[in-house]
Amino acid sequence: MTYETLGRMFLSRAAESPNDVAIRHKGASGAYEDVTWSDLGGRMERIAAGLLTAVDGLADHASVAILGSTSLDWIACDFAALSISLKTVPVYATLLPAEVGYLHVDTEAVIAIAQDGEQVAKLREMRDGFEFFDKQYDASQVKLQHIIVMNTEGLEPADDWESLADLEARGAEHLEATAEERQRRADDQQRDDTATYTYTSGTTGPPKGVVQTSGNMLSMLESAEKCGVINQEMKAGGLFLFLPLAHSFGRLIELSGPYFNTPIVIAGIPTLKEDLAASRPGFFPSAPRVYEKFKARIESGVAGAPPVKRTLATWALGVGKRSVPYILEKKPMPWLLKKQHGLADKIIFSKLRAGLGLDRCSIMLSGSAPLSVEVHSFFLGVGLNLLEAYGLTETCPGLTTNLPDHMKLGTVGLPFPGVEIQIADDGEILAKGANITSGYLNRPDATAEAFDDEGWFHTGDLGSMDSDGFVKITGRKKELMKTSGGKYIAPAKLEAYLKNLTIVQEAVTVADTRNYATALIAIDPEELEEWATQTGNAADPQSKAVRDAVQAHVDEVNKKLASFETVKAFEIVEPMTVESGLLTASLKVKRSVVYDRYADLIDSLYDKSAG
């Protein structure tokens, strides 16, 4: 299928498939309800008309910011704005007022659509001026003219905002009056028009606004279709979406709904387990941490089961593990293993998949961070088709992926159709493709740094490509740590290993200019409670039992590492969160901030050894 622009794709889908399900979301009762394309298309028209009448002389391609968590309203507003050639700016619900302000100034957003009163408070604060990364921005630089609020509960009436319901009501009254203008804007759209600005997390400076066109996004969808990563088998269950829409991974799923005419199943992070069980999706995308937690939950359940069930489940998991090489190589299993696997699937794996809500899931996709071979192998063994992919915000968001019938563990797969990959002399991964951004908003310096004279995008990631074209990531170019002995260590590799212990929430390694590697390890409170129940120990992250468990895990990790990479010492620290300032809104570690905050503790790790 071919679409010229995102806006016209939404309008075409609503016109061509009015009775098909567009979105599956939880209604007032808490049960999932279906929204058809006829229903969503009507809302899109009303919201579009309401936006055109919200600001006098709303310019073509004006920017509209959307602040909040993934929801039906968020998607309806996004589709409506794009249908009339407005540019949308997705904003994480967790951002602080100053960063919200920076995004508004950078994009010159004139309308903001806020989830609730909490987001409105941020808009009000930043409108008066703010300081961000040691630069002062005054009120005159904020171009915001109108605020729309999705959920007005608890928000006092005021003249600086209107509800989304009121905007839709006004839009309904002006459907006829705005019909010609809405059609003109839809007709005038071009594939190369900027559709959205998606911001990369800023850890050492202001975030960069990645310019994403309709063509970039559609090229990504077309590539996903060609390689079968998203397909019609998923239609009955739908595309599970709990990822934030300010993240390109989440945005890809949102746009895949209308492109593939497959329902978007909206879920929440706090209710992930319940939402999976209730919706039973056909496609499940996530970062590796969720898969790690699923695996830990299953293993914990096995450990706590009655003896007979525990023995049976342990046997089945062993059978699944032995079957993985045959699954990967598409080779027939030996007769006995095939019989064992069939039995294990019938009595254990099928119930396990159903318990997770993944019994009709044809593909699970992992991205945003490295997926361990151990976790990947585990899910393949129990009959779940988990694929690892790789990309960046700048690539909207894919570059490579393993395929349902062609994968290699420990790699991020083959280049997507239409994407070229090259490994530079220094090991950096370079890429070309129609899905790749042309650059960063108002940042010619950053754009020039990211693209070379031949048009290759420099990802900043280090990797290799084997003779079959499979790409492997080895680390971040700028994050390589050089020991005082001159050895280079990739922190991503060590940290991925360290995070394989269930109770470890985050791990940050230290080695740059030091004579050996150490680590700061944050314990996951929720997983610690489960571990404590299973082991009979106290749920105290600083207890001897916890330190012993972590030390035993570090010892196992060190067996997989070269001697100069081994972790010689560690300290346990508080959980790392967005609120504490140690994680970005996309949940990536702010390495330099962690180093600064724990500078004394890090020094003590080396002082102890020296002593």
> What pLDDT digit, counting tens, does each position of 101-150 carry?
999 999 999 999 999 999 999 999 999 999 999 999 999 999 999 999 99
φ, ψ of residue 286 to 5 degrees: the values are -165, 165
Largest interatomic CA distance in the chain? 80
- Alpha carbon 520 to its chain's center: 24
Q: What topology does CATH give the domain 480-610?
A: GMP Synthetase; Chain A, domain 3 (3.30.300)
Q: 279 in helix, strand or coil? A: helix
Comparing CA positions, the residue from 306, 311, 301, 292 lying closest to residue 351 is 301
In angstroms, the Cα distances linking 407 to 225, 333, 414, 475, 529 are 17, 18, 8, 21, 36
User: Which residues partner with 26 through β-bridges?
Assistant: 32
Task: Taking residues 494-512, report their average pLDDT.
Answer: 91
Query: What gap in Å lies between CA 380 and CA 330, rounded to an integer?
Result: 13
Comparing CA positions, the residue from 465, 276, 305 lying closest to residue 384 is 276
Task: Taking residues 382-399, report their average pLDDT.
Answer: 97
Sign of the dihedral defined by the CA atoms of residues 591, 592, 594, 595, in that order:
positive
CATH superfamily for domain 6-189:
ANL, N-terminal domain (3.40.50.12780)
Residue 486, pLDDT score: 84
Mean model confidence pLDDT for the chain:
94
Residue 55, pLDDT score: 95
Query: What gap in Å lies between CA 579 and CA 587, rounded to an integer?
Result: 11
Query: What gap in Å lies between CA 200 and CA 394, rounded to an integer?
Result: 9
φ, ψ of residue 243 to 5 degrees: the values are -70, 150
Listed range (31-45, 195-209, 280-294, 336-350) with the worst mean pLDDT: 195-209
* pLDDT confidence band for 611 (50 / 70 / 90): very low
pLDDT at 90 over 50: yes
Task: Taking residues 434-460, report their average pLDDT.
Answer: 97
CATH superfamily for domain 284-477:
ANL, N-terminal domain (3.40.50.12780)
* pLDDT confidence band for 609 (50 / 70 / 90): low
Buried b (16+ CB within 10 A) or exposed e, 426-445: eebbbbbbbbbbbbbbbbee
Task: Taking residues 165-170, report their average pLDDT.
Answer: 98
Q: What is the 3-state secondary structure (H, E, C) of 143-183?
A: CCCEEEECCCCCCCCCCCCEEHHHHHHHHHHCHHHHHHHHH
pLDDT at 370 over 90: no
Q: Please count the residues of the chain.
A: 611
Domains 6-189 and 284-477 share a fold: yes
Task: Taking residues 331-336, report their average pLDDT.
Answer: 96
Q: Which long-range contacts (CB under 8 A, 24 or more apart) does 525-528 make?
A: 525/575, 527/293, 527/296, 527/502, 527/503, 528/503
Query: What gap in Å lies between CA 395 and CA 216, rounded to an integer?
Result: 8
Whole-model pTM over 0.85:
yes
Residue 189, pLDDT score: 96
pLDDT tens, position by position, 192-214 = 999 999 999 765 679 999 999 99
Domain boundaries, the chain: 6-189, 284-477, 480-610
Task: Taking residues 170-194, report their average pLDDT.
Answer: 97
Question: Could you tell me the strand order of the sheet in which 194-199 lies?
Answer: 162-163, 146-149, 111-114, 63-67, 87-91, 194-199, 209-213
Tokens coding 65: 């910011």
Task: Taking residues 341-362, report their average pLDDT.
Answer: 96
pLDDT tens, position by position, 137-149 = 999 999 999 999 9
CB atoms near residue 165 (< 10 Å): 15
Degrees, nearest 5: CA angle 57-122-129: 75
pLDDT at 565 over 70: yes
Query: What gap in Å lies between CA 221 and CA 594, rounded to an integer?
Result: 37
Give me the helix-helix angle, 214-227 and 248-260, nearest 10°. 70
CB atoms near residue 242 (< 10 Å): 22
